[in-house]
Amino acid sequence: MRKIAIIPLLTLALFSCREQEVRIPVPEGTLYIEPLTEDAIRVRVLPEGAVPLEELIYTQPVQKPKYRVRRSGGDVTVTTARLTAVYHASEGRILFKDADGQVLLEEKSRSLQPTQVRDHSAYDITQSFVSPEGEALFGTGQFQDGYLDIRGLTRRLTQVNSQISLPMILSNRGYGLLWHNYGLTEFNPSEGLQPLTLAEASVESASVNVTGTSGNFMEIRRFNRYAGEIDLPEDGEYALLLDVGSSMARKQYLAVDGEVLVDFSNFWLPPTVAAKAYLTSGSHRVEVRGAEGDAPVLGWRRITPETTFHSPVSQGIDYTVFAGNADAVMHAFRRLSGAVPPMPDWAFRYIHCRERFDTQEELLTAARRFHAEGLPVGTIVQDWQWWGKHGWNAMRFDEDKYPDPTGMVRELHGMDQHLMLSVWSKVDRTSEVGRQMEENGYYIEGTDWVDFFKPEAAACYWENFRERLLPVGIDAWWLDATEPENDDLANRSVGPDGIPGEFYRNVYPLKVVGTVYEGLRKDAPERLPVILTRSAFPGIQRYGAMTWSGDVGADWGSFRRQIAGGLGQMAAGLPWWTYDAGGFFRPTGQYADPDYQECMLRWIQTAVYLPFMRVHGYVSRTEPWEYPEPVRHLFEDAVRRRESLQPYILRHARRVWEEDYTLMRPLVFDFPDDAEALRQDCEFMFGPEYLVCPVTAPKVTSWRVYLPENEGGWEYIRDGSVYEGGRYAEVPVDLENIPVFKRVTE
C-alpha cells in the first residue's frame, strides 16, 4: 500500500512536461513560465483580459525542450537541461539558476498599473532585478553617451538618428535578458525629475549647413543657458539623464556644481543623454546649455544593486532569460528570433560613400579612378537626391543627371564594383508613388512615412520598389531613416486598426527592413540581399541588416563614443555594424586641416577591423586623392589592409550565419572573468585572433592598452613584439598604425 501511495505523489511532483507554459495565479493576474529552448525561459505576467500584441521577435519554429515541473506548496520550479526558474510564492518573485545550481539572476520587484493611451487600454509596467556588486552589464543597443558597462546607468530606449534601441542586456555572470516590449522603455528609470529654467538667452550662436527634404541649406542656431537645483537624500553614485525637451538635440551640455559631465555638440543629437557622478547629500547647482526652444529636465537616480526596466505602454510584463556565456546567449537568441542569413563576399570589402555624388558621370568618374589606381572597392554608394525633380524617394532616377542607371551598374560590375542605393520609407506625396500611398491611406497620419504596419501599404511600397528599381540591377540597398526620423510614431496611430503608435514605437525599422528583405528573396532570389539601415530592433538580424551609427560628429570624442556604441549593439544580439569613417559632419576646410586629417585617419584605420569598412561624409568629397600626402597614402594603405584581411574576415563572417558567431566582440565575450578587460570601453576583439585598440587622442607616440589574460600573450603586429596578458602596456604608435595585437596560442 505504501508503494501505491508513493508513486502517484512522485509522478505529480516531477515529470517531463510538454505543455507550452506553466501558469501560476498571482495578484497581478497570471504568471506564465515558458521554456523556449534548453537555455532560454520566457516569463510573462498578464493581467486578466490583457491581450498580448502580435509576436514580432520570436518568429522561428523551434521545438519546445523537455522540462520538469516541481510544485511544493505555492512554490514552483521549472527546470530544463541548462536553466532553472524557481518561483517563490511567499516573496512573489523568480530566481534563475544555471545547470550547476549557481544563481544567475533574481527578480526583486514588479509593478503593473492600468493606464490609457487615447482610447486603448494599456499597462505601465516595471520589473526590477538584483544586480550584485561586481556584475558588469552590456547592451541596450547603440547609444552616444560613451558607456559600455551600463550597470546602474539610466537610458531612455527610443529610436532616433544615431541611437539604436535594443532592449536586451548581457551579463558577465553568464546570462542575457531580452525585455520583450515594442514601445519606449526606460532602463533604470530616474527617481527624481527637475525641470530647468532659462537663466540666460543666446549665450552662443552658430551658422550651420544642414540637410532638409529640399536639399542642403544654412541655418542659424542660438543656444541658451538653463539652470536649476537638485536636492539629493544621501551620498552615493548617481545616474543622471538629461532630456533636452525637444525631438532632437543640437547640444548636450550638463554641469553639476561647475563640473562639466557632458559636452557634446552636433547638427543633431538624441534628445536624451546619460552620465554618472558621485554626489553628496544636499543641494547641487545644475547648468544645461541647449538650443532655443528646448525645455530641459534632469532626471536622477542613486545607483543601487539592481537593474530595472520600465515601459509606460504595454499589455503586461514579458522578458526572456538566456543562460550561458556570450556566444551561447547569442546562439539561443538567434535560434528564436532568426539566424543571420548569408552575405555575399563583396559586401565585406571597402564601401565608399560620400554625401553625395550628384550625377551618374560623377559617380563613375570616381569609380573609374579607384579601378585605374588599383584601389580595391567592393561597393560604391549613391546617397539621396538621385530622384531629383521626381520628388523625395520617387523610386525613379532623375534622367537629367542619371540618363542610364542600368548602364551605370553594368559598368561598375565590369570594374568588380557594386552599387548601393539610398532608398527611404518616406515618400513625397506629390510623386507618382506618393499619390498611390495618399489615395489608399497608406501614410502614417500627419507624416510622409509609409505605414508599414498596414500589410497593404507594405505590399504597395514593395510593388513599386520591385517594378521601378529591381530592373536596374542594383546590388545593395541603403534604407535610411528607418526609425522613423524624429520619433514619429509617438502620438500617432498605425496599422489597419489604428493602434496607438506608442505600442509599437521602436519596431518600425523591423517592419521596413523585413518588407524589403522578403521582397528581395521572393523577386530576386538569385541575389543575396545586402541592406544597410540606420535603425534596428531585436530580430532584424534575420533580414541580414547591417546598421551604421548615424549622422555623427567628426571629432575625437565622437569617434571614441562610436566604438562603445557599436559594442553595445553587439552585446544586444545584432552582429552587423559600422560607422561613417571620418565622421559624418566634417569641418570646413577638411582637405587642408592636418588636425582633422589625423583624426580621420584613426577612424579609417579602426574601420579596417569593423564588420564593414565604410567611409562617408556630409557635403564631402571623401576619395583618398582629395587629401594631401601622407594622408592619402595612409588612407589607401588602410583600404588595402582591409582587402588583405578578406580571407580571415570571410572565414569568420561565415561563422555568423553558420554558428551565430559575433565578429566584433566586446571583451566580455572572450574574457568575462577578467575584471580589467570588462572596464575597457574602446577595445574589442575582431574575430578570435585580433585585439583592436583604437587611438582616440591626437599627437601621441605611445598608447596605453590593456591586454587581457591569455596564456600565450599578445603579439603586436606592428613589430612582432610579444606582451604578457593580464596587464596594461604602453606601446609605441605612429600615424601609420593603431595598436592591433594577435592572440598567441600555445
Report how far apart, in Å, the C-alpha atoms of 522 and of each of 56, 345, 527, 635 are: 20, 21, 10, 39
- Residue 552 is assigned to a structural domain of this protein: no
User: What CATH number did the domain enclosing 220 receive?
Assistant: 2.60.120
Per-residue pLDDT, averaged over 644-667, amounts to 98
Q: Residue 210: what pLDDT?
A: 65
Residue reference for cell 559598368? 411
Residue 557 CB coordination number (10 Å): 15
pLDDT digits (tens, 9 = 90+) for 158-182: 999 999 999 999 999 999 999 999 9
Could you tell me if residue 654 is inside a domain?
no
Give Cα separations from 504 to 53, 120, 125, 169 (angstroms).
9, 13, 15, 20
Q: Please indicate, yes or no, if residue 329 is contained in any of the structural domains.
A: no
Residue 486 lies in a domain: yes
Q: What is the mean pLDDT of residues 398-410?
A: 98
Residue 661 lies in a domain: no
**Is residue 628 one of the residues assigned to a domain?**
no
Asked if residues 341 and 542 have their Cβ atoms less than 8 Å apart, the reply is yes
Label residue 219 by pLDDT band (50, 70, 90): confident
Q: Tell me the C-alpha distance between 192 and 470, whole Å.
A: 53
Model confidence, pTM: 0.96
Q: Determine the distance from the C-alpha atom of residue 206 to the mean position of all C-alpha atoms in its chain, rounded to a whole number.
A: 30
Does pLDDT of 469 surpass 80? yes
pLDDT of 18 reads 42
pLDDT at 15: 37
Secondary structure (H, E, C), 431-449: CHHHHHHHHHCCECCCCCE
H helical segments located in 50-175: none
Residues 231 and 317 in one domain: no
Question: Can you give the CATH number for the domain in which 156 is found?
Answer: 2.60.40.1760
Same domain, 131 and 268: no
Helix (H) or strand (E) holding 141: strand 137-142
- CATH code for the domain of 474: 3.20.20.80
Q: Is the pLDDT of residue 6 over 80?
A: no
The mean predicted confidence, pLDDT, of the chain is: 95
**Tens-place pLDDT, residues 588-599:** 999 999 999 999
Q: Judge if 176 and 201 occupy the same domain.
A: no
- Are 312 and 444 contained in the same domain? no
**What pLDDT sits at residue 11?**
28
Model confidence at 220, pLDDT cuts 50, 70, 90, reads confident
pLDDT exceeds cutoff 50 at 10: no
151 and 276 part of one domain: no
Residue at a domain's end among 264, 299, 334: 299
Report d(CA 703, CA 738) in Å as an integer.
Answer: 9
Q: pLDDT confidence of 209, banded at 50, 70, 90?
A: low
Domain count, the chain: 4
Cell 596605453 belongs to residue? 704
Quick: pLDDT tens for 343-376.
999 999 999 999 999 999 999 999 999 999 999 9
Could you tell me the residue range of the domain that residue 697 belongs to?
675-743
- My answer on whether 41 and 138 are in the same domain is yes
Which residues are CB-neighbours of 315 under 8 A, at least 6 positions away? 46, 50, 51, 52, 53, 122, 123
- The reply to whether 368 falls in a domain is no
Same structural domain for residues 199 and 175? no
Per DSSP, the three-state class of 192 is strand
Q: Residues 166, 259: one domain?
A: no
Within this chain, do residues 38 and 183 fall inside the same structural domain, yes or no?
yes
Amino acid at 221: R
Question: What does the pLDDT read at residue 583?
Answer: 98
Q: With H, G, I as helix, E, B as strand and everything else as coil, classify residue 745.
A: coil
Q: Is residue 367 part of a domain?
A: no
**440 and 455 share one domain:** yes
Domain boundary, last residue among 543, 564, 587: 543
Are residues 168 and 33 part of one domain? Answer: yes
- My answer on whether 233 and 113 are in the same domain is no
Query: For residue 714, what is the domain's CATH number?
Result: 2.60.40.1180
